[in-house]
Amino acid sequence: MKLSKVYRDYLHRFSNKTLFMQGDIACAYGALYGGCNFLAGYPITPASEIGEQLALELPKIGGYAIQMEDEIASIAAVIGAVWSGARAMTATSGPGFSLMQENIGYAIMTETPCVIVNVQRSGPSTGQATKPAQGDVMQARWGTHGDHEIIALSPSSVQECLQLTIECFNLAETYRHPVILLMDGEVGHMREKIVMPDPDKIELTGRRLAKPGELMFGGQLIPPMTEFGAGSFVHVTGSTHKDNGMRDVETQKVHDKLIRRMYEKIDKNRDKLIRVEKDYMEEAKVAVVSYGATARPAKGAVIQARKEGKRIDFLRLIGIWPFLCRVWRRNSS
């Protein structure tokens, strides 16, 4: 699927231009290139610029940006917008991400494709608001309760903030699952060179909508969904539900089937979702494994060490979740 004409016409002004841009702003433009037409959020350092930029841009091209009363309401509005047909996102930092956890679980359980950007900062709690950190990796994986999978990507350059945001939207639709972009305050607030893509060349994954009578919560690994108001009846619930969406909070088999399917839709595509940048991974016994902002100086150090004749490999996690356990074993044998 291509970007809509309105979006392409608007984004053409940036096409192939080299700009000096902040990571957060690149993320906001990544959302536009990714076809995002709805943002709900609540300002927080170091993520505010994403919402600010989208609040400036979205209304110009027929999209919506809402500042909600808090982060719980923000993710709730995102989920509602998606079920009304929007490509929706929210952007926050650690404290807001903590608040969102309950509804991230709801998005997973209702298989709602959406993008949650977390520009990580120092914590716990309010911590040092203006200092960057990378402490939410485990929260991204297990912040919401129960058995579930998650998809999370982590950029380490401004260019990647844009690229990976586009991919987050596509992955969300492909797997009908919330996708987390784990940025950090350093990448979010730094500025560097970025080459803006040509909007005509962007490939988007569209939403698969159910045909009349098609099941929306089972019957296949990744079922199609619908939009409220499109004519078909649908029941969306965070409680355990059958293939048709109706609640069943008693039968163990129903729960087992649902949770296994939702696990398998990620697990069976693990190889596609695992993404790494490998350098020199051939013969060395020691590898530096890193991600996000710290991967930059880490790679610089590896290059320096190799100049000095030391055999050290470099591995950067771009896809943080699902974790690259299989690749890792192969290389560390």
Partner 1 sequence: MNIRFSGFGGQGVVLAGVIYGRAATIEGKNALQTQSYGSASRGGASKSDVIISDEQIYELEFTTPDVLIAMSQEAYTIYAQQLKEQCIVIVEKDLVRTEGVKIYSIPATRIAEGLGQKIMANIVMLGFMSALVSEVQPQIVSKDAVCKAIYESVPKGTGDKNIQAFEEGYKLGMFNLKLQSTKS
Which residues contact partner 1 by CB under 8 A?
18-20, 45, 129-130, 186, 189-193, 293, 296-297, 299-301, 303
Residues 231, 99 contacting (CB under 8 angstroms) = no
What is the helix (H) or strand (E) element at residue 280, kind and residue range? Answer: none
Q: Cβ neighbours of residue 160 under 8 Å, at least 6 residues apart? A: 318
Shortest distance (Å) from residue 188 CB to partner 1: 11
Shortest distance (Å) from residue 143 CB to partner 1: 25
Shortest distance (Å) from residue 48 CB to partner 1: 12
Using the minimum distance from each CB to partner 1, give the nearer residue, 156 or 174: 156
Shortest distance (Å) from residue 20 CB to partner 1: 4
Using the minimum distance from each CB to partner 1, give the nearer residue, 237 or 294: 294
CB atoms within 10 A of CB 167: 24
Shortest distance (Å) from residue 190 CB to partner 1: 5
Question: CA nearest 139: which of 289, 321, 319?
Answer: 321
Q: Cβ neighbours of residue 180 under 8 Å, at least 6 residues apart? A: 115, 116, 117, 118, 140, 150, 151, 152, 153, 168, 321
Q: Residue 112: phi, psi to the nearest 5?
A: -100, 115
Using the minimum distance from each CB to partner 1, give the nearer residue, 37 or 159: 159
Question: CA nearest 144: which of 37, 262, 46, 244?
Answer: 262
Shortest distance (Å) from residue 282 CB to partner 1: 21
Q: In which residue are the tokens 């029941």 written?
A: 235
Using the minimum distance from each CB to partner 1, give the nearer residue, 152 or 293: 293
Using the minimum distance from each CB to partner 1, give the nearer residue, 286 or 303: 303
Q: How far is CA 27 from CA 16, 54, 187, 226, in A?
A: 17, 10, 10, 28
Residues 130, 158 contacting (CB under 8 angstroms) = no
Q: In which residue are the tokens 């790679």 written?
A: 299
Axis-axis angle for helices 23-33, 158-175 (nearest 10): 40
Using the minimum distance from each CB to partner 1, give the nearer residue, 16 or 130: 130
Using the minimum distance from each CB to partner 1, give the nearer residue, 20 or 233: 20
Using the minimum distance from each CB to partner 1, give the nearer residue, 141 or 191: 191
240, 208, 87, 145: CA torsion to nearest 10: 20
Cα 60 versus chain centre, distance: 24
Alpha helices in 64-220 (DSSP H): 71-83, 94-109, 137-142, 158-175, 185-189
Shortest distance (Å) from residue 195 CB to partner 1: 11
Using the minimum distance from each CB to partner 1, give the nearer residue, 24 or 173: 24
Shortest distance (Å) from residue 187 CB to partner 1: 9
Shortest distance (Å) from residue 259 CB to partner 1: 41
